[in-house]
A and B are shown apart, each in its own frame.
Chain A
Amino acid sequence: MAKLTFLGGIHPYDGKDLSKDKPIRTIFPKGDLVYPLSQHIGAPATAVVAKGDRVLVGQKIAEASGFVSAPIYASVSGTVKAIEPRRVVTGDNVMSIVIEDDGQYEEMKEMLPVKPLEQMTSEDIVNVVKEAGIVGMGGAGFPTFIKLSPKEPEKIDYVIANCAECEPYLTSDYRRMLEEPEKVVGGLKIILSLFKNAHGILAVEDNKPDCIKKLKELVVGEPRITVKALKTKYPQGAERTLIYATTGRQINSAMLPVDAGCVVNNVDTIVAVYRAVTEGRPLIERIVTVTGDAIKEPQNFRVRIGTSYSELIEEAGGFKEEPEKIVCGGPMMGFAMFGTDVPTTKTSTALLALIYDEVAASEPGPCINCGRCVEVCPGRVVPSKLATCAEHFDEEGFLKGNGMECCECGCCSFICPAKRPLTQQIKSMRKIQLAKKKK
């Protein structure tokens, strides 16, 4: 059988060897914990605690405000020190709850209203996921309960667990699948129980044969779940390419996975669902990869959300050499950070410290029309032309060239021999067009 894949894509240096063999290590925060009220797509949460309040582990400190929103829970016990704007990874100042950790980790008795699994209805499960504040933990931060409650659940054909982890350097999902595969499978089963006609797919890139083997062993005797090995190629884990590779269905930018009868969730999100539903634990911790050639001991941490990134760097032995660039997330889709004294959030996948910044070192030149961007583009558009349209603010040309179909994966910028910032130019134009649409 042909390997499951898509047209286009790139094979960058994957850097996974730096951290892939280090077991997940649990770390405890030292300083204050900061919880930005906006760490998901949608309306910012509303604080339900006040300065001076004592909070416990698993206590709700902010309430969802509106439909597309998510509550936030305290990941330590302590005192609310302030509710004030704090710097987040993007460099913006976002209203945040600051908690002074008392080091007791005193837990709430009942965090979420759970019953034994067999007594829970679909509604109960979706409600727990909603209450747990679970959002897409692969980076997008879209509230998960919305994905799990489409209008017509019987029309969902596939529930796809995104175990691709195609982003270079990242190994958190890999460790998770290796160390707690039963939670991944368990979470998928819970989600599957919501969609009676759906088949579950664990989609793993074939550079993780050990994970594929473990997961395959676990799904023996599960007629509703298959493990599928995907060709290792970036951006295999992007929602649209993943759906195409596993099911052959194509969706465009105006559609959601639901439109193709699919529900896609990332590994960490699925584990969060599992823990919320079976253990009643809200989303208060996640796995973060701390890696890069500038980090002394690259590894994966189990982090209480809200811990400062600078503490993660310390825990990883600090810097071997001073980095030129620090990225929150992977090198393809991550944000370059202004400083490290910012909090981890629900969507923090990784911290990547690079000694040498390839972007600053490469001077953009004129396009030589080589066509590499066209060959690697999974959206099957012509990035060089779209970027030129964006540069000249030619909106008509941009829209006609299907500029909105760009998924901002970064392949074109990566591959461009003239080092043109294609993705950036297309992205900025898309942003303008999306804003216009909303009006």
Chain B
Amino acid sequence: MSERLKVSSNPHIRSKVTTHGIMAAVVLALLPAAGFGIYNFGVKAAILLGVSVASTVGAEFLYGLLVKKTTVTDLSAVVTGMLLGMNLPVNAPWWVAALGGIFAIIVVKMLFGGLGQNFMNPALAARCFLLISFPAIMTDFNCDAYSGATPLAMLKAGETVNVTDMIIGNVAGTIGETSMIAIIIGACFLILLGIIDLRIPGSYIVSFVVFVLLFGGHGFDLQYLSAQLAGGGLMLGAFFMATDYVTRPITIKGQYVFGIFLGIMTGVFRIFGPSAEGVSYAIILGNLVTPLIEKMTMPTAFGKGGKCYVKK
């Protein structure tokens, strides 16, 4: 036999899960919601999604050429592009998507060190950047299929909304956020694969519901509650953006704290804020306090806790 054996430190086996595989699964899981967006808003939605993905991937590729490091193959740019596209209103011009994509990748992600180093979810940061820069474009939800306001805006104005339509997704809104069913199908896929778990979405949604019950001013109104749950970016945010690995706390306790923080902030923004929406800002804020939450929730090492056995 040859004496050329490979030698390395233990362990000598590795699990089959890879970064690339995780990103691919997230892209797959986003497809139902994105597909519904295209069905709901027509071919313009498909073009926007396409431009957005092309711009994030393109930006990462070009940046990679500049710093001589290929990172585009890990598919994380595709996830960012999809999420960004799904967070745009269908009327947005193509260059808004492109600009957002470039901002997300270059400014939010690569300048901070690339994958794993960004302190904010790139897609959400880009959305907020666009919201501040082009408020008229980013809040214009008129289109061929629907005219007027999103269900949440109607709800805020005291109008009645059709909750069934909101759950299915036949309402105005950004491309990927309208269908609660499609989002949950994708989320279930990720949960079954063990890529995300219910810690953050669960504590997020529960704390949000509690907040709305306490401060919503509607008491226990099932109609209002379900509209709040199905409306806006809550589902997309809770399952796909708050669970973003890089920008949520790594500690298990911290993830619950993070979820509760998001629930409260979303409630504050939606109920007391001027806008009907609040998920994007809540998550961005959550991203910013993540290091703090992590620090405060470091796990107690085995044998160092209160249950530690002390010799009598």
Decide if A402 touches B304 in the complex (CB within 8 Å): yes
Q: A12-B13, A369-B250 are in contact. Are A418 and B304 (CB under 8 A)?
A: no
CB distance from A433 to the nearest CB of B (A): 15
Interface set, chain B 134-148, CB cutoff 8 A to A: none
Decide if A259 touches B311 in the complex (CB within 8 Å): yes
Q: What residues of B have a CB within 8 angstroms of the CB of A91 in the complex?
A: 7
Interface majority SS (helix, strand, loop, mixed), chain A:
loop
Decide if B5 touches A250 in the complex (CB within 8 Å): no
Interface set, chain B 3-45, CB cutoff 8 A to A: 3, 5-15, 17-19, 21-22
Decide if A371 touches B245 in the complex (CB within 8 Å): yes
Q: Does B157 contact A (CB under 8 A)?
A: no
Q: What residues of B have a CB within 8 angstroms of the CB of A322 in the complex?
A: 1-2
Among residues of B, the one whose C-beta sits closest to the C-beta of A418 is: B19
Decide if A325 touches B6 in the complex (CB within 8 Å): yes
Q: A354-B12, A368-B246, A410-B10 are in contact. Are A405 and B22 (CB under 8 A)?
A: no
Q: What residues of B have a CB within 8 angstroms of the CB of A29 in the complex?
A: none
Q: A12-B15, A368-B245, A374-B250 are in contact. Are A252 and B9 (CB under 8 A)?
A: no
Interface set, chain A 326-374, CB cutoff 8 A to B: 326-327, 331-340, 352, 354, 357-360, 362, 365-372, 374
Interface majority SS (helix, strand, loop, mixed), chain B:
loop
Among residues of B, the one whose C-beta sits closest to the C-beta of A325 is: B6
Among residues of B, the one whose C-beta sits closest to the C-beta of A360 is: B6
Decide if B309 touches A249 in the complex (CB within 8 Å): yes
Among residues of B, the one whose C-beta sits closest to the C-beta of A356 is: B6
Q: Does B170 contact A (CB under 8 A)?
A: no
Decide if A380 touches B117 in the complex (CB within 8 Å): no
Q: What does the 1/0 interface line of B99-116 toward A look like (CB < 8 Å)?
A: 000000000000000111
Q: What residues of A have a CB within 8 angstroms of the CB of B117 in the complex?
A: 366
Residues of B within 8 A of A (CB): 1-3, 5-15, 17-19, 21-22, 74, 76, 114-117, 245-248, 250-252, 255, 298-305, 307-309, 311-312
Can you list 29 contacts pairing A with B, beta carbon distance less than 8 Å?
Answer: A240-B303, A251-B303, A251-B309, A252-B303, A252-B304, A325-B5, A327-B12, A331-B11, A331-B13, A332-B10, A336-B7, A338-B5, A338-B7, A360-B8, A366-B114, A369-B245, A369-B247, A374-B252, A379-B301, A382-B250, A382-B298, A414-B13, A416-B14, A417-B22, A418-B18, A419-B14, A421-B8, A423-B9, A427-B9
